[in-house]
Amino acid sequence: MSYIQKRGQNTAWRIALMRNLTTELIVSERLEITETRAKELRKHFDHMVTLAKRGDLHARRQAAAWLRDVEVSDKETALQKLFTDIAKKYKTRNGGYTRILKLDNRKGDNAPIVIIELV
């Protein structure tokens, strides 16, 4: 996570945005966001899946430091879902864990909106 593109805000805001979006993508497996945010999110989500596939203690701690502590269900957090469900799903796949589908532009500011979802 060494570099996050600027996107017009300060560093803390950008990092918080990517952490929140990464966690939300793990929880819901599909997001509707702007195209530039989706392209940036793809990098961070791919890194989280790579850590989950590795599966050792150090990888789990690195992912826990990045992800928010959000509960997916009564007994499962986003971190647990990443390391159990998502890691198993992409065990044999080498990268390209997300798909970006273009939608119409947003009505208010004409920003390009996309759907980013897990493959």
Checking if the pLDDT of 1 tops 60, the result is no
Who contacts 78 (Cβ-Cβ below 8 Å, separation ≥6)?
23, 26, 27, 67, 68, 69, 70, 71, 72
Show the domains of the chain with their CATH numbers: 11-118 (3.90.1030.10)
- Over residues 55-84, the mean pLDDT reads 93
Of residues 25 and 73, more confidence is placed in 25
User: According to the model, what pLDDT value does residue 5 have?
Assistant: 67
Q: pLDDT per residue over 50-66, tens digit each?
A: 999 999 999 999 999 99
pLDDT band at 107 (very low <50, low <70, confident <90, very high): very high
Checking if the pLDDT of 26 tops 70, the result is yes
Checking if the pLDDT of 2 tops 90, the result is no
Checking if the pLDDT of 6 tops 80, the result is no
- Over residues 33-40, the mean pLDDT reads 94
